Structure 1
Amino acid sequence: MNYYLQIEGVNLANFVYDTNDLSTVRGGSFLLLDAAKIIGDIFKDVLKPISTGASLGLFQFQAAEGDAVRDEVKRILSTHDQLKHATFAVDIQPDTGDYRLDREALRARIRWQQMQQPALAIPAWNDVPTEYCEVDRLRPALTARPGPEKQPERVSTSVQKRSEYGRQYKQNFYQQETGRDHLADIEFAYDFKALTSTRMPAYRKLNHKMAVIYLDGNGFGKMRDKTCTNVDLQRQFDHDMTEYRKAALSALLDIMPQDASWLSDPPYRYRLETLMWGGDEILWVVPAWKGWQTLQLFYAQSQSWTWQGTPLRHAGGMVFCHHNAPIHRIKSLAVQLSDLAKETCREQNLFAYTVLESFDYIGQGLTAALQERYGATDMFVLNAEHMSTIETALPDLKQTFPRRKLHEIVLRLRHEREAAEHELNKVLCELDQTSLDAWYKLQNCFGDNTPALCYNIAELWDYAGL
């Protein structure tokens, strides 16, 4: 009999984003990405892949008893040296001949199973009294690893396995995903401090600051469910998405050797961290002075992406912050910014951004924080088509527009708008023609609403047009 089998990593918050340790976060994320590949390799004579990406794997197989195959996959996942520390839902669905109906039934089984199991993988019982893990501060510390300043750090087995995988995977990921063998010999910055540290005078103000970029496809799941009416179409959709992402990552890696600011201080390593990959989600971390360029390059690459003639658009969220900001909270904020862009329009490539001098206000919630600080929630949602104009116009504006005056105007706009606009008009009258032309170009990008225009220029002053 023909069956479909799905495995899905669930409860990511307790396996990927339960620490601020970079190698652990990376390792957890990529272990889930590789789970379907690992299962596919172990059962290569039984399971035929349909779709593998992010934390999900969908397979088809033939068997007299489908339950036996499902139970064996569960057993492997629960005993695998690394994967046993994650939580997975696994189930099967007989092939009824209606692929879309079978797919939905299988998803329902997975969700039901997820609701019935613990939110994290419970560690094995230990008889030896121990402290809690110094990294996740939850699981028992049963082993040790080199910590800060090479001092031993007591950690849980889950953290140890994930961080080991994260360190090993980091150097191989880019070569594996792009198929470019020379990347196997290139090293990447090992932590956020190395990624963001710079001695270059042009970026001195952005030393130890990073850009966290989250990208999410607009309605990719609904599009796939509507158009992929059989296994072959599902495989083609999966293949096309993989090739598109491969091209975008390759384009990003191609520009790095041409620009010294992509290389860290000695020993020289590329300044790029990938924390989410697969499916229709990407999470990149780059130096703050490369955030705008990275996002602009992705949107330029993805502008031509289509599926069955329908353009594929992405919502983006970009957070500029200090390198030691808690990554799980910054990632959550980037997702919220992306959602804000989605709410504005899903038919265009839109993104929202924010600049954090501190991360204290995140706890308020994004919309509440934006409303309190700026009096609006959609002021920083931008169209990716305008990124190139902003990139070139902002340096021209800076030539004769006094930054001190801009800050004074911004501070007065909320409560003394009329006086602020009067002061702004005086400044505009004193600009040279190049800067004035740049002002009107930026007005076309940010809108002619004076607060939106001034706030965006002030926020992006140090981050765009470098």
Structure 2
Amino acid sequence: MSKVYLWLEGVDFAEFIDDTNQIAVIRGASLALLAAGEEAEGWLKRNQPALAPEKIFSGASLSLFRLACDESGGEVVAAALRRHLADRGLNVLDVKQPVTPFAYLRFVTGVATDDGTPAAIRRAHARARHAQAHGVYHPPARLETHETNRFMCAMSRSRQADCYMRLTEDQVETYGANVGRRIERDADAFRLPVSRSVAARRYYGRKAREEFFARRKGTIGFDAARFGFVNDLHEMVDLAPLADDLSSDREEMTFALREAGQTAEQAWREAPRETVRNKIAVFHVDGNDFTAIRDAMGGSAAALREFDEQVTALLERKVLAGFMRRLQAHADAPDVWTQIPRLRALHGSVYRRPDTEPDDPDPRARRLRFELLLYGGDEMAFILPAWLGLEFAGLFFDAVADAHILWNGKRYDLRFKMGLAFVNYKMPIREARNLAYGLCDIAKTKDRNTIAIQAFESIEPPANGLGDVRSGLFGDEPVSPKQTVAHAVMDADRLAETVAGLMAFKRAGAARSQLYGMLRAAQWTPVRGRAGTRHVSGKLGAPGVNAKAAGYFKDYATRMLAQARPEPALAALFARLQVKETAAMEAWLATHLYDYVDPLGYLEFDVASGASA
């Protein structure tokens, strides 16, 4: 009997992921896409058992199955599957338990005969994309006219409202700031006019995150009985107003620390700097040339299944498991935190919900400040507080350092690119995600794990896009092969070296302002004209700027390193600042990341054991 491949893919993300800035709505759509493969597999096995349905792989937004039938039969099954998904979750607001809102997503399918070659899978994929281009899918059904149709959806400006979402009194202030003047008073409650699409995705998103982690407890290690997650970005960055209180009592705390057997250098933690305090770290991670690796493995169904299983195991057992261990270790607090009241208060402000006390008996008062926006297949997108950004970038690259797949006696190394954008938490989240995505695209380099990082000070995204910002800093193109990496990205190893060097720089008592002053001096270039000589700011990629910066930093390094026996990491940092092709860009990176390197002191402190690292 002939067999066919059935390709299922979620499409048109701009209409149901990027149409809102509400985290729970984005999360609901993303996790629903991830669940579509499992839903399709279950439906095929229940309704088409005679076709012996076999799942080949399932990723973040796409799945591949094999059925025992011909192409015409496969097309019938594909149409029925699309109808099932278009009906699933349509009336999610009328049920008590969260239902995956597939009806408010959009799926296409492609069917191709399995001829025993990898080309058959590519044909199925191509036919799915052809269907998308020609609108061959089942969009959500048009709902009946509702009294709220006179409003636009308060959470998605591209949709009409056709229902109300009820709000608690605690939510009114947060949503009022985000959605304008659409909140209405209804008896003792508040309500907000929204579209059913947004309401369904939000309802699911608020319930599905912890279920996602709880179902993977054996691989990720999330302890759902003891921990929860923050619910929004305001809560993610919200810290108790402890900065003045703590900084005024350093002498008292130093004495208490000594009584507890700890030195002030080991355990004193100041409140984060203002430049970090209200910011989030937005990550986008993508596999480097994974399509080429799948093709090199042969592109067969067996190869694709093996690739999917190995990448999923890597992301769950190493990456997410490592994240959970670190987040939960932070939240549990080592003894030194719990023994000293003021340190316990600071710890509580950083890792607990702002509205709970450090000694709250409710174990779920521990809220992990982590948001997973996209997961599965080749990609991940997630958010952390800015003060944890570089730490978790390092954790990710440690987890994937030696990632590879063995297939038919050959090794295929897995490499990842990462974009990390530090932004104010009030920046529209879709714009923040776009910045992280753009940085990730810049970081694409073969054969290495790479990262591109940039901090943005304004709440508003760059008016002319990321490319205009980067060219304004560095110039349009790297001017030499040595500048290619420094101009755009860092290797994962160099990220660790940069963090270590900046920590040593801080410990040595050196001032960032000195580096910045020398960098600015190197950028000022005299230009002669009819009106006389004027100075303009040169691009960081200009050869003259880098050569001049290298000279300044050489003199500075000589003075700094002569004062005391330098740490190796500091010596390495100064060595990079003296390379004439890249010195200015290295200095920009150092001054740019200074506030984000260990702002709470955790990288020098083993939070799992309570000992100095």
Q: One-letter code of the match for 2:129?
A: R
Q: What is the SS of the residue equivalent to 2:197? A: helix
8 Å Cα contact 2:427/2:461 also seen in 1: no
Gaps of 5+ in 2: 90-100, 174-189, 243-269, 332-346, 357-364, 478-485, 526-544, 600-613
Q: Partner of 2:513 in structure 1? A: 404
8 Å Cα contact 2:293/2:412 also seen in 1: no
State whether structure 2 residue 109 is matched by structure 1 residue 90.
yes
8 Å Cα contact 2:233/2:425 also seen in 1: yes
Q: Partner of 1:35 in structure 2? A: 36
Distance (whole Å) between structure 2 residues aligned to residue 57 and residue 49 of structure 1? 8
Tell me the alpha carbon deviations over residues 349-397 of structure 1, each in whole angstroms, 9 at most, x when there is no partner: 1110101001545332322211213446653511101233222221221
Find 1:354's aligned residue among 429, 450, 454: 454
Alignment of 1:194-205 (within 5 A): 194-199=235-240, 201-205=270-274
Q: Partner of 1:440 in structure 2? A: 571
Q: Partner of 1:175 in structure 2? A: 214
State whether structure 2 residue 323 is matched by structure 1 residue 252.
yes
Q: Partner of 1:296 in structure 2? A: 394
Distance (whole Å) between structure 2 residues aligned to residue 181 and residue 351 of structure 1? 27
Q: Partner of 2:67 in structure 1? A: 61
Q: Partner of 2:528 in structure 1? A: none
Distance (whole Å) between structure 2 residues aligned to residue 138 and residue 388 of structure 1? 43
Find 2:433's aligned residue among 328, 331, 336: 331
Distance (whole Å) between structure 1 residues aligned to residue 556 and residue 522 of structure 2? 15
User: For structure 1, which segment, 397-406 or 370-379, has the greater mean C-alpha deviation from structure 2 after superposition?
Assistant: 370-379
Q: Displacement, 1:209?
A: 1.0
Tell me the alpha carbon deviations over residues 231-267 of structure 1, each in whole angstroms, 9 at most, x when there is no partner: 2222221111111111211011112232246723434
Q: Partner of 1:51 in structure 2? A: 57
Q: Partner of 1:316 in structure 2? A: 418
Alignment of 1:361-372 (within 5 A): 362-372=462-472
Give the direction of change, closer, same or farther, for the CA distance of 1:168–1:437 in structure 2 (3 Å limit). same
Q: What is the SS of the residue equivalent to 1:162? A: helix
Give the direction of change, closer, same or farther, for the CA distance of 1:447–1:358 in structure 2 (3 Å limit). farther
Q: Partner of 1:394 in structure 2? A: 502
User: For structure 1, which segment, 45-54 or 145-154, has the greater mean C-alpha deviation from structure 2 after superposition?
Assistant: 145-154
Distance (whole Å) between structure 2 residues aligned to residue 89 and residue 28 of structure 1? 16
Q: What is the SS of the residue equivalent to 1:250? A: helix
Q: Displacement, 1:420?
A: 6.4
Distance (whole Å) between structure 1 residues aligned to residue 577 and residue 307 of structure 2? 35
Q: Displacement, 1:444?
A: 5.4
State whether structure 2 residue 523 is matched by structure 1 residue 454.
no
Tell me the alpha carbon deviations over residues 76-113 of structure 1, each in whole angstroms, 9 at most, x when there is no partner: 12211221211111121122222x11111111101111
Distance (whole Å) between structure 2 residues aligned to residue 358 and residue 216 of structure 1? 26
Q: One-letter code of the match for 1:188?
A: F
8 Å Cα contact 2:8/2:108 also seen in 1: yes
Structure possessing the higher radius of gyration over alpha carbons: 2
8 Å Cα contact 1:145/1:153 also seen in 2: yes
State whether structure 2 residue 184 is matched by structure 1 residue 153.
no
Tell me the alpha carbon deviations over residues 267-293 of structure 1, each in whole angstroms, 9 at most, x when there is no partner: 430111110100010111011111111
Give the direction of change, closer, same or farther, for the CA distance of 1:335–1:92 in structure 2 (3 Å limit). same
Q: What is the SS of the residue equivalent to 1:43? A: helix
State whether structure 2 residue 376 is matched by structure 1 residue 243.
no
Q: Displacement, 1:348?
A: 0.6
Q: Partner of 2:88 in structure 1? A: 80
Q: Partner of 1:223 in structure 2? A: 293
8 Å Cα contact 1:132/1:141 also seen in 2: yes
8 Å Cα contact 1:380/1:456 also seen in 2: no
State whether structure 2 residue 408 is matched by structure 1 residue 385.
no
Distance (whole Å) between structure 1 residues aligned to residue 552 and residue 308 of structure 2? 55
Q: What is the SS of the residue equivalent to 1:203? A: coil
Report runs of 4+ in structure 1 exceeding 6 Å deviation. Answer: 418-422
Task: Give the structure-1-normalised TM-score.
Answer: 0.92
8 Å Cα contact 2:10/2:61 also seen in 1: yes
Q: Partner of 1:277 in structure 2? A: 375
Task: Give the structure-2-normalised TM-score.
Answer: 0.71
Distance (whole Å) between structure 1 residues aligned to residue 372 and residue 307 of structure 2? 23
Gaps of 5+ in 1: none
Q: Displacement, 1:433?
A: 3.4
Find 2:150's aligned residue among 115, 125, 130: 130
8 Å Cα contact 1:392/1:465 also seen in 2: no
Q: Partner of 2:263 in structure 1? A: none
Q: Displacement, 1:181?
A: 6.9
Number of residue equivalences: 463
Distance (whole Å) between structure 1 residues aligned to residue 552 and residue 300 of structure 2? 63
Give the direction of change, closer, same or farther, for the CA distance of 1:333–1:434 in structure 2 (3 Å limit). farther
Distance (whole Å) between structure 1 residues aligned to residue 298 and residue 322 of structure 2? 29
Distance (whole Å) between structure 2 residues aligned to residue 78 and residue 41 of structure 1? 16
Distance (whole Å) between structure 1 residues aligned to residue 592 and residue 209 of structure 2? 32
8 Å Cα contact 2:451/2:492 also seen in 1: yes
Q: One-letter code of the match for 1:27?
A: G
Distance (whole Å) between structure 2 residues aligned to residue 138 and residue 120 of structure 1? 19
Q: One-letter code of the match for 2:571?
A: Y
Find 1:428's aligned residue among 549, 552, 557: 557
Q: One-letter code of the match for 2:60?
A: A
